[in-house]
Amino acid sequence: MAKADVANHLRAGETMTGAEMAIQILSDEGVDAIFGYSGGAILPTYDAVFRWNEVYPDKEIKLLVPANEQGAAFMAAGYSRATGRVGVALVTSGPGATNTVTPVRDAMADSVPMIVICGQVPRAAVGTDAFQEAPVFNVMCSCAKHVFLVKNPDELEATIRTAFYIARSGRPGPVVIDFPKDVQNWEGEFVGAGMLELKGYQARLDRMEQATLPDKKIATFFDMLKVAKRPLIYAGGGIINSNASEELTAFAKKYQVPVVTTLMGIGAIDTTDPLCLHMLGMHGTAYANYAVDDCDFLIAIGARFDDRVAGKADAFAARAKIAHIDIDAAEIGKVKAADWHHVGDAAVALRTLIDAGSDEVITHQAWLDYVQELKEKHRMAYNLESDIIQPQEVLALINEITKGDAIITTGVGQHQMFAAQYFDFKAPRTLLTSGSMGTMGYGLPAAVGAQVGCPDKLVIDVDGDGSIRMNIGEMETCTNYDLPVKVLLLNNQGDGMVVQWQTLYFGSRFSGTDKTLHQKDFVAAAKADGFKFSERVTDRGDLKKVVEAFIAADGPAFLEVMTDAQAFVYPMVGPGLSYKEMLTGPHINGREADPFAELDAADAF
């Protein structure tokens, strides 16, 4: 049942259909764009969107129709991650709903707030294998933060408001609303207020929101920081979700602690800041990974020690005491035991630690000098001798033009890691990529969503020839809505990351990757989809001129660059290995010896 709230809504008391109530609440929640594909079981709600925009043109809710429902939900996720607001996908029942399973799971894995509203057959037909019926509740329960099947129309309003609350609050995530057609057509009185009771969830949320750092715990943290000679901040996506970038930067600068970030945490601190050591992990920078190996106090904030970061968990930051701040209590101690921890919002916790240490003078200059030497000795590098265009040089060239101010989306594969390594990101919410799920096909629809949410920003999708195929239908979505997305295709004519693994770990047996993918003419396909700028570069001598024209082009633009199939992603920490066993490849300087191997942690510096 809904909580009884005093309704001050201007439309309280009006008679509406369930579909009209849903659209009114979406508007109340600040929704200005919906991504979705229509169908029989969701038609009443689509009709309500049309009528809403006729009656309230000043509160227009843009409706963008993709090529596929997977594209719709990835657009909603891209919109959410670029803006910080809740993205909304609206799809029909059956296959329309099941096509969103992958993006829902992707959003859950990367803590992205999103609402997916699925049409459903009428309540009386649920469970009868009716036309275009799917067990959405059962399927999505394993993938989403929460799922609602609206059985009681009187609870419709409260259900939708509660869905937005759950999606935004605590550790964000996707919420699915299964919306039967007869409930959409039902008529009732609009209340204008109220949410469902969530006793257990609310109690946990209240405990987290009310959590404070007691003086004794603060003192213990600073005792650890003062004793440390080589402290390091390990920042994850939780920094961005809690809008804590300013606090992270202030904390790092005040106590002069260098920062490494996860893939999802890129942009949490300006990557051009001297304190930033960039990404750590399987394909992190060599100097970031060496710093993790060398540090004696690791401060993890909004990060979860996942397998692509921690790798061989026992060997990860083996010399370090660990402090862990996270909004999700389940992450504390899940992979690595913490010597000090706090469950709470990252921004609040960092502000508390900044204020509490207002008189503290803590310096680690020898360590700062050391990590700057690491950055210089083990800087990123690639093959400069090849006659074939290197993917890294394409991204480095674009980075010179954009200067870290573009929103970059990616597919999944080598191009994803190159983008993380070779672009500057001066602000949060400027790298949108599928992290935990690693979903190929994410980049293009995410770019569409980001461009809708940030119409004045330059949005570039960095994609691969394998990944872009997964949702290539969304090329036409860009031109249908004249969205000035720039689509960069780094074409190495194969599934590069899988080829890299097969080369390094499977004796160059290219099972499933020997197809060479030569048939698709991507430039012709882009032109067929309405791209006025659609070019291919094969010669390095043409690269700079064409890239500049690509970035400067009005409207949607497509550029395919033919790149070296042997340009592997380095550094690489192989599966089940430690950072000490990291491969730096032929162009990045590795280190032969552990500089602290003969020292006790307390003796260094």
Tell me: the pLDDT tens digits for 6-61? 568 999 999 999 999 999 999 999 999 999 999 999 999 999 999 999 999 999 99
Q: What is the CA radius of gyration of the chain?
A: 25
Does the structure show a pLDDT above 80 at 65? yes
Angle formed at CA 482 by CA 450 and CA 406, multiple of 5 degrees? 35
> pLDDT (tens digit, 9 = 90+) per residue, 132-150?
999 999 999 999 999 999 9
Sequence-distant (≥ 6) Cβ neighbours of residue 377 within 8 angstroms: 287, 589, 591
| Catalytic machinery residues | 69, 131-132, 181, 497
Closest C-alpha among 278, 144, 192, 262 to residue 2: 192
Of 310-319, 505-514, 546-555, where does mean pLDDT reach its minimum?
Answer: 505-514
Beta-sheet strand order (sheet of 297-301): 276-279, 259-261, 231-235, 297-301, 321-326, 340-343
Please state the rounded mean pLDDT for residues 95-110.
98
Closest C-alpha among 147, 115, 153, 157 to residue 25: 157
Q: How far is it, in rounded angstroms, from Cα 464 to Cα 440?
A: 9
Does the structure show a pLDDT above 60 at 362? yes
Q: What is the pTM of this model?
A: 0.95
Q: What is residue 430's predicted lDDT score, i.e. its pLDDT?
A: 98
Instruction: Tell me, yes or no, if the two domains 15-207 and 212-377 fold the same way.
Output: yes
Q: What is residue 1's predicted lDDT score, i.e. its pLDDT?
A: 35
Closest C-alpha among 177, 179, 175, 180 to residue 201: 175
Pair of tokens at residue 37: 């594909």
Question: Which residues in 117-153 are b (16+ Cβ under 10 Å) and which e?
Answer: bbbbbebebbeeeeebbbebbebbeebbbbbbbbeeb
Please state the rounded mean pLDDT for residues 316-336.
95
The answer to whether the CB of 49 falls within 8 A of the CB of 417 is no
Sequence-distant (≥ 6) Cβ neighbours of residue 394 within 8 angstroms: 488, 490, 543, 547, 561, 563
Q: Phi and psi of 401, rounded to 5°?
A: -80, -45
Please, which pLDDT band fits residue 3 given cuts at 50, 70 and 90?
Answer: very low
Please state the rounded mean pLDDT for residues 570-582.
94
Q: How far is it, in rounded angstroms, from Cα 506 to Cα 501?
A: 7
Question: What are the beta bridge partners of residue 323?
Answer: 299, 340
Does the structure show a pLDDT above 80 at 318? yes
Please, which pLDDT band fits residue 2 given cuts at 50, 70 and 90?
Answer: very low
CATH of domain 391-562: 3.40.50.970
Q: How far is it, in rounded angstroms, from Cα 556 to Cα 526?
A: 10
Question: What are the beta bridge partners of residue 33?
Answer: 62
498 class by beta-carbon count within 10 Å (0-12 exposed, 13-18 middle, 19+ buried): middle
Q: What is residue 517's predicted lDDT score, i.e. its pLDDT?
A: 54
Dihedral sign from CA coordinates of 124, 129, 134, 135: positive
Cα atoms in the 13 Å half-sphere on the side-chain side of 597: 6
> pLDDT (tens digit, 9 = 90+) per residue, 419-463?
999 999 999 999 999 999 999 999 999 999 999 999 999 999 999
Domain boundaries, the chain: 15-207, 212-377, 391-562
414-422 vs 496-505: helix axis angle to the nearest 10?
100
The answer to whether the CB of 269 falls within 8 A of the CB of 278 is no
Q: What is residue 266's predicted lDDT score, i.e. its pLDDT?
A: 98
Please, which pLDDT band fits residue 593 given cuts at 50, 70 and 90?
Answer: confident
> pLDDT (tens digit, 9 = 90+) per residue, 166-212?
999 999 999 999 999 999 999 999 999 999 999 999 999 988 888 88
Does the structure show a pLDDT above 70 at 354? yes
Pair of tokens at residue 381: 């590098």
Please, which pLDDT band fits residue 604 given cuts at 50, 70 and 90?
Answer: low
Q: What is residue 311's predicted lDDT score, i.e. its pLDDT?
A: 86
List the beta strands (DSSP E) in 12-59.
Answer: 15-17, 33-37
Q: What is residue 602's predicted lDDT score, i.e. its pLDDT?
A: 47
Question: Which residues in 568-602 are b (16+ Cβ under 10 Å) and which e?
Answer: bbbbbbeeeebbeebbbbeebeeeeeeebeeeebe
Q: What is residue 468's predicted lDDT score, i.e. its pLDDT?
A: 97
Beta-sheet strand order (sheet of 114-120): 62-64, 33-37, 87-91, 114-120, 174-180, 146-149
CATH of domain 212-377: 3.40.50.1220
Coil, strand or helix: which one is 468? helix
Overall CATH class of domain 15-207 = alpha beta
Sequence-distant (≥ 6) Cβ neighbours of residue 534 within 8 angstroms: 523, 524, 526, 527, 557, 558, 559
Q: What is residue 359's predicted lDDT score, i.e. its pLDDT?
A: 75
Please state the rounded mean pLDDT for residues 251-268.
97
Q: Over pLDDT 90: what percentage of the chain?
A: 91
